[in-house]
Every structure is written in structure tokens, then in C-alpha cells.
Structure 1
Amino acid sequence: MPDDWTRALAVVAHPDDLEYGTAAAIARWTGEGREISYLLATRGEAGIDILDPAEAAPLREREQRASAAVVGVTSVEFLGHRDGVIEYGTVLRRDIAAAIRRHRPELLITINHRDTWGGTYWNTPDHRAVGRAVLDAAADAGNRWIFPELTADGLAPWNGVRWVAVSGSSSPTHSVGVDDTHLEAAVRSLLEHRTYIEALTDQDPEEYCRDFVAQVTSSSGGRAAVSFELFTR
């Protein structure tokens, strides 16, 4: 992965999306002194079947902020799109482009925007919509004529995004090596989503987190790593 950057913006659909592996790389990067901010399209209100969305939304927002803090991220924003029915289009692109102009990152991070996770395991419409919008908004943010209202609101164009890194891709091109400290931070970060995990599985939450992080960071070379599909600009 390129390492000549100082600021990144991670944009995903739901609380917990970044914690399923990507957080290990984020822990490494913040430990190196890089600045990373999170942008969540939804508050994850439709993600827990036993909780009404009005109750789930603030709970999942709190869990996400605590989870981000574990890996050194203090800036966490929520766009407020409806969980489960995010629509790809100009509204979403504009919201993400505005955030890019505010944060002025060189690197954007998102998760798999493709139809499947590889094979026949179908991806969710929210992931697909947000991932595609991130790739498009990287260019939108630098073009003053696409969303001129952003400039009128004081958000000057930012054409400084150099890469978009997509985690969870079935076609990875790059990887970020991580050590035991980064892996432990990733486990603790995922474990902050305890309410979601306890509703998701009967497995012990910490055991579940350790198993999942170990699985997604394993590599054929024997060294733990987080893989990405890297798009250049």
C-alpha cells in the first residue's frame, strides 16, 4: 500500500462495517501518526431484529464511537440515510463529496461495492450503493461544476484524493501488514459492538471477534495483513 499520505476518510454504510477486519489496518495507521476520520451513511438502526430502530440507532451510534476510539479515531460522523434502503444517486454522492471537501483526505477507505463477496455470497444493497458512491465522489469533490452549491456553502473543491482503498474485495491488489498489537486493537474495536454481536450469534462475543479478525487477516505468506483493492486517481 502507498504510505506517502497523512489524512484518510473511511466511508461505509453501517456501524461495524469497518470493524470486520479493516480496523487492524486503521490501528496501524493511527499508530504511525496518520489522521483518519469515519463517515457512516446510516446509524445502523435496522441492524438488530429485536430492537426497534428508534432504540437501536442511538445505541449503535454510541457503540461506533467507542469502537473508533479503540483504534485512535476521534472524528465520527453520521449522514442519517435510512439503514437498509440507501439509494445510490446524486444525493448520496453529494453528501460524501461534501465530507471529502471538509476533511481533504488523500486516501478514501470503503468496503466491497461489488455484487458478491466472491462466489455466490450476495452483498447488501447498502454496501454496494455506498461503495460505488465513494468511488464516484472522489472525483465529484474536485469538480466545482458538479455540486456548485457546496462551493456556495463554503466547501471549496478538493481534488487531492489519490487513492480509494476497498476492503473485503474479492479482487485485492494490495495489503497492509499488521502485528499482534494492531490485531488486538481490531478485536477490541469489534467487541465494542457487543449489542449487535450478541443479537447476531450465540458464540461468546470475544471468541467470535477473535475468530473473525484472525480469519480476515490471515495470508498465504504467514504474516497477518489486511487486503484492499486499490483504485488510483
Structure 2
Amino acid sequence: MTLQPFPTDWRTALVLVPHPDDPEYGIGAAVAKWTSTGRTVHYALASRGEAGIEGLPPAEAGPAREREQIRAAAVVGVDLVEFWEFPDSRIRDTAELRARIADTIEVVAPDVVLTIFSGPEWAPGQPNQRDHIEFATAVTAAYDALADPPRWLFENGPDGTHGEVVDGFVDVAVESLAAHERYLSVLDPETPVYEQARRQVAETTAGRPEFGGRPTVEFILVRGGR
């Protein structure tokens, strides 16, 4: 699919994700570009990622991952980071979650909402997490229930419809993902944290021919365009 340029006529974005590190695994370079031009980006996370560090009790892992997320967000110019209390690894598309999403959208009043991929697979043989699927489904349902929703709703994922060119912002995205140092060091103890971060960011900012082969973050338009 040929990508269209990501919209430019907006000022405020709300990023809704289930876990710490979800923004950095996909859209950190785009966020860094946007904040560098004076746009405001808010992060809201359903959980604190308390189940995400193997061998570390949730009571320790949650605060550790929260601190890492705040540092990671600051690297790309995001100062507004909100954590909810939904259970990591058990996030489901419930009425309670939809209500929290809708309330947050109404309070922030963004021009654009961005969330994680809702599809079953990132690529053949690479299944998506249930938390991601359930959360993204809840975001769309909450958006649809709003009387006056934001102008756009996008997911970050494969087979995108729109692209944000991010040349000049790849290194800061690597720095942002590497801020999740404890999480990454346990996730893959054999690979240095910066090497993990650089590899992941390279995958999510691959060059696109529509934009002259320049590094690009892909988004899927789910709703909007008015």
C-alpha cells in the first residue's frame, strides 16, 4: 500500500497504550519530531508493566518500569505521562476500560489519538499480544462512543496507510527505548541494551519509497479524516 503523509494540521496528540515501552517500541522517533516542532503529546498507559520483568515481584517491577517510562518519555519531549491501574498481562476490553479511555480523551481533548496495533499478527508467525489487541479494540470502541471525537484515530502497526518521515530523529528514539534499561536487560541478557534498542528502532523506521527511502514510522488510519 502506498503511504500518505501523516497529517500536519494538528497541535495535540494523545498516545494510549497498555504498557510501559509500548510507545518506544513503535513511535518514539515520530513523537520526538512532533515535540521538536512545538506540538504537545500526552501519554496514558493502562498499566505500570508490573508483570513485565521476569524474576522481579510486581511490587518492585511496577515502580521500576514506571520510572523508566517517565525517563523514556522525557527523552522525546513528553512530560505528560499518566498511569492507570489495570492489571498488566490481563488487560481486557471491558466497560471500565472503555470508560477510562473515553474520559481521558475528553479531558485531554486531542486533535489525534494514537494507539497500538489491534491485529492478530505483526507479521506471519509473529503473533500480537492479547493485551495489545484487547486494549486497541477498547480504544476504537471508546472513540466511537464519543459525541464529538477527535479528528483522527490511528494505530501504529504494519501495512500502514500514513507515514511520518523521521530522518534526524532515529538516534533520539534509540536513546528513548534504551531508557527501559532494566526491562531490556532482563528481556535479552545476551544483547546490550543499546543494541536491542537500535535494532528495534531500525525495524520500525524502515525507509519507504514514497518518501525517497527516508526512515518512516507507519500508522494505520482507523477513524477520521474530517
Q: TM-score, normalised by structure 2?
A: 0.92
User: Does 2:170 align with 1:183?
Assistant: yes
User: Does 2:184 align with 1:207?
Assistant: no
Distance in 2 (alpha carbons) for counterparts of 1:194 and 1:172: 29
SS at match of 1:5: coil
Match of 1:58 among 33, 54, 63: 63
Aligned partner of 1:152 in structure 2 is none
The residue type paired with residue 15 of structure 1 is P
Aligned partner of 1:102 in structure 2 is 107
- The structure carrying a bigger strand percent of its residues is 2
Aligned partner of 1:230 in structure 2 is 221
1:73-116 deviation line (CA, Å, top 9, x unaligned): 01100111000001112111000001001100110011111111
Distance in 2 (alpha carbons) for counterparts of 1:130 and 1:17: 12
SS at match of 1:223: coil
CA RMSD across the alignment: 1.1
| Equivalent pair of 1:21/1:186 in contact (CA under 8 Å) | no
The residue type paired with residue 108 of structure 2 is H
Aligned partner of 2:156 in structure 1 is 167
Match of 1:216 among 204, 208, 217: 204
Which structure 2 segments of 5+ residues have no match? 1-5
Aligned partner of 2:53 in structure 1 is 48
Which structure 1 segments of 5+ residues have no match? 144-158
Match of 1:87 among 87, 92, 102: 92
Shift of 1:119: 1.6
| Equivalent pair of 2:208/2:215 in contact (CA under 8 Å) | no
Aligned partner of 2:16 in structure 1 is 11
1:152-173 deviation line (CA, Å, top 9, x unaligned): xxxxxxx1411111112x3211
Shift of 1:220: 3.8
SS at match of 2:121: coil
Identical residues among aligned pairs (%): 42
Number of residue equivalences: 215
Q: TM-score, normalised by structure 1?
A: 0.89
